[in-house]
Amino acid sequence: MKTAFVFPGQGAQYVGMATDFMEKEPEFAAVLSNFDSVHGTELARIMAEGPEDLLKETKYTQPAILFHSLCALKSFQIRSGLRPDFVAGHSLGEFSALVANGTLDWSDALHLVHKRGEFMIEANAGVPFAMAAVIGLDAQTVLDICAEAEATGLVRAVNFNTLTQTVISGTESGVAKASELARAQGAKRVLPLVVGGPFHTPLIHQASEWLIREMKDIEFKDAEIPLVSNLDALPNTVGAVSREKLGLQIISPVLWVDCVRRMIDGGVGRFIEFGPQKVLGGMIKNIDKDVQIFNLDKLADLDALLEALSAGQDTNEPE
């Protein structure tokens, strides 16, 4: 059975994240301290103490989730020699995955996602926007709804999370119209999302341009372990290609369902999610209930995870 390591994106954060990993491994804390020193931030304090509203700000959320995910991964690697056959991440989680397969340095990845968060907010300054999760409709129906709602305002299907959960993003008017149409089509729920911009749409095209410039002088190494990209759901090991895809990913849909299917078609039957909470595990289980899902969020769960892996015991149920 092949194994994939996967990494969550924005929305999984919580106050207190990664503190247990840093207490166990002081070198992890040193990485975060260096980040704060270089960027003039207080991310370590915000992660440990909050307030939650500040942690939710995209420029803090993104490096916080990446840092937590990599603390979990590296703590696991200290105890286990298990090597993945594929890596993948959801949106910003793709940066975590690129550290996991050796393409990016940890500190470089922290810097890039911090800047990425700033760019994603700044690129849409002053334009009314919205995002919402449509639950209970298939992806094609959501695509058709967005096409119809475009007459009101730009709106796109941007996160294909499961077979029946698709996130839409765009102008406030476009998302409102698409949400209305989705309810009329029988959506079980349409949940507005608290976000800082119309992510993964052309409305933040400047963020893509700024990020491409920011990545220009960052080393992206070739890897042995392929990353399955959000952009096209294709495996890749070439560093320069990963850099190019990250620049486009910020304004393009996250093809998560296709990524998971690509890995399963490649022989993956076991997914290990590293990072806060169990967001991706639930999504993957909804895409294919027969695969095994394991998660590592807190240090206290590491022994149980290693035992479950050894026994082949699934630790996640579909939501």
280 near 162, Cβ under 8 Å? no
Query: Judging by beta carbons within 10 Å of its beta carbon (0-12, 13-18, 19+), is residue 45 exposed, middle or buried?
Result: exposed
Are 282 and 6 within 8 A, CB to CB? no
B/e letters for 167-203, b = 16+ CB within 10 Å, e = fewer, are: bbbbbebbbbbbbebbeeeebeebeebebbbbbbbeb
For the chain, give percent helix, strand, coil, nearest 5. Answer: 50, 15, 35
CB atoms within 10 A of CB 19: 18
Residue among 69, 91, 169, 208 flagged as catalytic: 91
169 in catalytic set: no
Q: How far apart are CA 95 and CA 106, in angstroms?
A: 9
Residue with tokens 């320069």: 240
What pairing do the DSSP bridges indicate for beta strands 227-228 and 165-171?
A: unpaired
Give the Cα separation of 104 and 98 in Å (integer): 6
SS3 85: coil
Active-site entry in 169, 200, 208, 229 = 200
Q: Is 114 a catalytic residue?
A: no
Residue 188 region, left (φ>0) first, then alpha (ψ -120 to 50), else beta?
alpha
Active centre residues (catalytic): 91, 200
